[in-house]
Structure formats: C-alpha cells, structure tokens
C-alpha cells in the first residue's frame, strides 16, 4: 500500500509542476519532482535511443566484437561437447547478473553439480549465438551430457520433480 501511494505521488508530480500535495513533506517531494522533470526533459546532448551521449568519446560507446556467426556456433558446439554440465548465463556463478541465472546457479549448487559456465554478457555475438544454437529465446540455458535441457523454469521444475538429481547423477 505504501509503495502504491509513493508511485501515485510520483505520477502526480510528473504530470504537473505544481507544488506537492499537503500530505507529503517538501523534503521528500523536491528530489522526486526534480527527478521527474529530468526524465521528461532530457539534456539536448543525450541520445536517448542509444543510452549514451551523442558527442561522447568512442571509448565510452558500446563495443561490439566482430566474430563470424559460424565461429560462434562452432565454439558453442565445442563447449557443449567438452562439458558434462554447462550453464550459459548472465554473469558468473559467483556474481550472477540476473535473477534467473542466480536461480539456475543455486539449483546446480544445491545438487553439488560440477558445472562450467559462460557469461553471455561478455559478448553480444555469444548472447545471440546461444539463442540461435538452441532456438530458445531466454537465458540462462543449461546443457547436460551434450543435450540442451532448458532454461531456469525447466531446471526448477526438474529440480522439484526429482528428475534433475537423476540426470546429474547419470552425467557424473
């Protein structure tokens, strides 16, 4: 309820530049109001479509490392072949950068699975390549004994059903 009230206050402040309502403190409303104005009136130097300053130095712009699609597919196939349990995820097992990747790591750790992982955020080609390799739109993606198992939702379901434990024992 409190969060909804706060969101309602922010919506009200965004829609007008009038003084804050009587029921909220000026100390709280002032930063929110300035934040709301900043979001609706971006700086003329900001390229909103790309998320970086248009006049920014090239060092600060996103980098795309060019590698061929066939090379990426071959590297993924080699990874899948060489690792009994493999997790393509966002981040690393010690520092996942997405809740679904974190859950996949936690499930595999729960089963004491010895698994390799690849951070898809390290390369846009790898991120797109793994989706293409499996025809699966989301990440994380788990492979066991060279076969694509699925994503976080399937891994969680297999964990609940006891199927994952059997599959991991068979792979070990």
The CATH number assigned to the domain holding 121 equals: 3.40.30.10
- What is the tens place of the pLDDT at every residue in 144-157? 999 999 999 999 99
> Which one has a higher pLDDT value, 134 or 39?
134
Q: Within 10 Å of residue 108's Cβ, how many Cβ atoms?
A: 23
- pLDDT score at 2: 43
pLDDT exceeds cutoff 70 at 126: yes
Domain that holds residue 25: 2-60
Q: Within this chain, do residues 95 and 115 fall inside the same structural domain, yes or no?
A: yes
Pair (82, 55) in one structural domain: no
Q: Which residue has the higher pLDDT, 91 or 172?
A: 91
Does 88 share its domain with 113? yes
Question: Is the distance from CB of 20 to CB of 26 less than 8 angstroms?
Answer: yes
pTM exceeding the 0.75 threshold for the entire prediction? no
Token digits of residue 106: 């936690």
| Co-location of 50 and 20 in the same domain | yes
Alpha carbon 171 to chain centroid distance?
28
Looking at the fold, whether 37 and 94 belong to one and the same domain comes out as no
User: Using one digit for the tens of pLDDT, what is the confidence trace for 24-59?
Assistant: 444 444 444 434 433 444 434 434 444 444 454 555
As a 3-state breakdown, the chain gives helix, strand, coil percent values, each rounded to 5, of 55, 15, 35
Distance CA 6, CA 9 (A): 5
Are 76 and 153 part of one and the same domain? yes
């Amino acid at each position: 309820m409190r969060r909804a009230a706060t969101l309602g206050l922010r919506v009200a402040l965004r829609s007008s530049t009038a003084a804050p309502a009587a029921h909220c403190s000026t100390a709280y409303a002032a930063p929110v109001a300035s934040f709301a104005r900043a979001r609706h009136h971006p700086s003329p130097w900001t390229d909103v479509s790309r998320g970086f300053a248009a006049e920014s130095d090239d060092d600060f712009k996103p980098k795309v490392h060019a590698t061929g699609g066939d090379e990426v597919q071959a590297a993924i196939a080699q990874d899948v072949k060489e690792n009994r349990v493999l997790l393509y995820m966002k981040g690393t097992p010690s520092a996942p950068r997405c809740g679904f990747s974190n859950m996949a790591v936690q499930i595999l750790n729960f089963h004491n699975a010895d698994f390799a992982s690849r951070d898809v955020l390290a390369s846009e080609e790898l991120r797109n390549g793994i989706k293409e390799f499996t025809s699966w739109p989301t990440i994380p993606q788990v492979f066991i004994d060279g076969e694509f198992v699925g994503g976080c939702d399937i891994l969680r379901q297999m964990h609940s059903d006891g199927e994952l434990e059997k599959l991991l024992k068979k792979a070990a």
